[in-house]
A and B are shown apart, each in its own frame.
Chain A
Amino acid sequence: MLKQDNASLAPKKAMFNGAMPAASPLRAPDGYWRLGDRDGTGLSLLIEKRSVGVNMLLAVALLLASVAYLSLGTTALDPRAVIQALAGQGDMMTVFMVQELRLPRLVAGCLTGGAFALAGILMQTLARNRLATPGIIGIDNGATAFAVASVVGMGVSLAPSAMALTGAVTAAVLTFGLATGSGTQGYRFIIAGIGVGAVFGAVTQLMLARVGIDTANAAYPWTVGSLNARSGGSVQLLGIGLAVGFVLAFGLARSLTILRFSEATARGLGVSVNARRFQILMLSVVLTALAVAVAGPVGMVGLIGPEIARALSTPRHVPVLAATLSGALVMVLADLLGRTMMAPIELPVGIITAIVGGPWLLWILMRPQRSRP
């Protein structure tokens, strides 16, 4: 049942709406599979064919990218040897390289990419604006500023993860607080976020300017976004967080779909708008913070992942799983590029995603407006 993203539980009564061919109430609508309940007495499950296909496609792509990620690098390995090494067989050196060096980094990349993209699509849906990703509205910067504060040893000595969380929440509260007058919609909200982000960016610079060069170098990965300097503990925390967050987001999927319409419509359809909004916001903020604690601000993934997912999926649902998978895919590919493009110099993944994501952002801004969020 892993592929039941975008599936909706359809009680029998709901089958009698206008879109249905009235002849047979038990037939699934076009483009859906209907599971369970052969005789039409209990619950049945509708699964969108296209979303299954899209998610399969993304999963296969992610798998291929992962194998490529494990094989390529300063020392190129044979993909077959890599797969053997994953099982612990073969050359000791290869096993060490795959299991101890590349695999943890691959896992960290997948998790951060997925978390950024999931947070991105949640925030975009919440704000009904495809530009409103945590990276753009300053939450990344807030988390980074606080994480850097803990690295350079200012204030309370909390772990970077906890500090990143504090920072992300602070930035989110500031942005949303400052934007209350203009509502969460529209571009003003985003500009308020850019302002908040600029302040936190400046604070980060300020802290880096105050400390010695060694500490500043230790904190450098935080400022560009890199998978190089992750700590094991924060990766595990992110793994747990992403798993829980994904389940929660999945539970929110129906509300997310409805929240894309106007607030009045959502209320009329029985969504408790304010409670749901708060949950979505918190989920997005927590996911961003956990991901920043691992990899620093790679926020562009939160823009690119959902874009890919939306381009592939139908507009019927908010593609939660597809966005997560695309985010992981983008992150893995970007880091692979960063590792191999100028080997032995390693480019931080944040720079790669910024170079890919910047033009994309411009393109979104310049293309003719459409109503779809």
Chain B
Amino acid sequence: MKALTLTRRVDTRTLIVSLLTALVAVSVVSLLIGAGSVSPSRVVAMLLGADDADARFVVWELRAPRTLIGLAVGMALGVSGALLQAVTRNPLAEPGLLGVSAGAAFAVALALVLGASAATLRIPVAQMGALAGCLCVLGVARWRGVGNDPVRLVLAGAAFSALLGALTSLILFFDQRSADEIRFWVIGSLAGRRLDDLLAVLPTIVVSGVLIALLARPLAALALGERMASGLGHHPRLIRALIILCVALLVGAATAIAGPIAFVGLVVPFVARAFVGPDIRRTLWVSLPTGPLIVLVADIVSRVVVAPSELPLGVLTALFGAPVLVAVVRARRLPML
């Protein structure tokens, strides 16, 4: 028994190390490749000391911030997906599918119409919206036991997202000015986002990171059942509330920077569980590098496939995320968390 656990541990550790290596490699590739005319060889030459103003500008002003933002967004989405699935005990729970992203988008659109300018208010508003969306769907889930059926919860989330999406486009119809400000944001992309936005959300990301680190053990206990967790001295309601707060903060932060990006929160924990099993602590550790890895790869692909123009990231994540959704549902028995 002990030997078994040990090999599992070592496995997890090597897995994380190899994932981190891959992540570093992908980050470098992300600096090298772009939709524009600056080729990888010019970037390498510039890094080796050649005097190339164009390349310097493109790499340090465009691609480096973009890569950093991709790292942060991927981490936030992946981890929040894992947390949401653990809290709802539902392998299909995903911030995008459950209406959290739609809530954030709607809140931002509303704030823009009410006169806020896009630059100042976006992040707190998006986070509030994400929290509201989260609470709405989970409230629905608690009510009359919809949440006991994973698939019905997802349907409720899809309906809720569709509703909010329609309301958002309604608002944008109303107000051409906000439509202009928000149009590029609603698509969900890493292109053209500013590093300032990342700095603005960094505190909330750090706060929720610390909270999650403190809550990981109680959350794992919660997986044994509410009574067992109480017996072990934890407070299930408090844990759940705090975790949902973290999810809302993280998703709100990611959505505020990059716009709504669906399916990352579904795919990342799915992959992580496939490697390390259902323990939430290991899943969280593996999700941490997997999320940015997937987001960055998708982002690089989005720059290359239709060069010289770019593809919205959200489109790509839907393209590879939807098949995973179908795969999860097709499994003969839905894995209960």
Q: State the A residues within 8 Å of B (CB).
A: 131, 178-179, 181-182, 186-188, 190-192, 194-196, 198-199, 201-203, 205-206, 209-210, 224, 342, 345, 347, 351, 354-355, 358-359, 361-362, 365-368
Pick the residue among A195, A224, A347, A361 that contacts B325 (CB under 8 A).
A195
**A351 contact set on B, CB distance < 8 A:** 166, 169-170, 173
Q: B12-20, B41-49, B70-78, B145-153: which one contacts chain A?
A: B145-153
Bound together, the chains give a CA A342 to CA B172 distance in angstroms of 13
**In contact, B162 and A202 (Cβ under 8 angstroms):** no
- Given that A198-B322, A202-B315, A202-B322 are contacting pairs, would A355 and B167 also be in contact in the complex, using a CB cutoff of 8 Å? yes
**Interface of chain A, main secondary structure:** helix
Bound together, the chains give a CA A206 to CA B173 distance in angstroms of 23
Would you give the shortest CB distance from B87 to chain A, in whole angstroms?
A: 20
Give 18 A-B contacts (CB < 8 Å), ordered by A residue: A179-B330, A182-B330, A187-B151, A191-B329, A196-B322, A198-B322, A198-B325, A199-B323, A202-B318, A205-B312, A206-B306, A224-B169, A345-B174, A351-B170, A358-B166, A365-B140, A365-B152, A366-B146
Q: Is B158 an interface residue (CB 8 A)?
A: yes
Would you give the shortest CB distance from A19 to chain B, in whole angstroms?
A: 35
Bound together, the chains give a CA A195 to CA B321 distance in angstroms of 8
**A198 contact set on B, CB distance < 8 A:** 262-263, 318, 321-322, 325
- 4 smallest A-B Cβ distances: which pairs? A358-B163, A354-B166, A202-B318, A187-B151
| A202 closest partner in B (C-beta) | B318
Q: Is B144 an interface residue (CB 8 A)?
A: yes
| A181 closest partner in B (C-beta) | B330
Bound together, the chains give a CA A179 to CA B154 distance in angstroms of 17
**In contact, B163 and A355 (Cβ under 8 angstroms):** yes
**In contact, B158 and A194 (Cβ under 8 angstroms):** yes
From 143 to 192 in chain B, residues with beta carbon under 8 angstroms from any chain A beta carbon are 143-144, 146, 149, 151-152, 154-156, 158-160, 162-163, 165-167, 169-170, 173-174, 187
- Given that A131-B155, A358-B159, A365-B146 are contacting pairs, would A210 and B306 also be in contact in the complex, using a CB cutoff of 8 Å? yes
Bound together, the chains give a CA A196 to CA B322 distance in angstroms of 7
Pick the residue among A191, A206, A359, A361 that contacts B154 (CB under 8 A).
A191
**In contact, B146 and A191 (Cβ under 8 angstroms):** no
Bound together, the chains give a CA A206 to CA B309 distance in angstroms of 11
Q: Is B201 an interface residue (CB 8 A)?
A: no
**Interface of chain B, main secondary structure:** helix
**In contact, B330 and A192 (Cβ under 8 angstroms):** yes
**B309 contact set on A, CB distance < 8 A:** 209-210
**Apart from the given pairs A202-B322, A354-B163, A358-B159, 9 other A-B contacts in the complex at a CB distance below 8 Å:** A199-B322, A199-B323, A201-B318, A351-B169, A351-B173, A355-B167, A355-B170, A361-B162, A366-B156
Residue-wise interface mask of B (296-337) relative to A, using a CB-CB cutoff of 8 A (1 in contact, 0 not): 000000000010011110111011011101100110100000
| A212 closest partner in B (C-beta) | B309
Would you give the shortest CB distance from B117 to chain A, in whole angstroms?
A: 23
**In contact, A365 and B159 (Cβ under 8 angstroms):** yes
**In contact, B322 and A354 (Cβ under 8 angstroms):** no
Q: Is B82 an interface residue (CB 8 A)?
A: no
Would you give the shortest CB distance from A172 to chain B, in whole angstroms?
A: 15
**In contact, A187 and B155 (Cβ under 8 angstroms):** yes
**B319 contact set on A, CB distance < 8 A:** 199, 202-203, 206
Bound together, the chains give a CA A195 to CA B96 distance in angstroms of 13
Would you give the shortest CB distance from A24 to chain B, in whole angstroms?
A: 47
Bound together, the chains give a CA A366 to CA B187 distance in angstroms of 30
**In contact, A195 and B329 (Cβ under 8 angstroms):** yes
Bound together, the chains give a CA A351 to CA B167 distance in angstroms of 8
Pick the residue among B173, B314, B323 that contacts A342 (CB under 8 A).
B173
**B314 contact set on A, CB distance < 8 A:** 202, 205
**B146 contact set on A, CB distance < 8 A:** 365-366
Bound together, the chains give a CA A234 to CA B140 distance in angstroms of 41
Bound together, the chains give a CA A187 to CA B90 distance in angstroms of 15
**In contact, A190 and B155 (Cβ under 8 angstroms):** yes
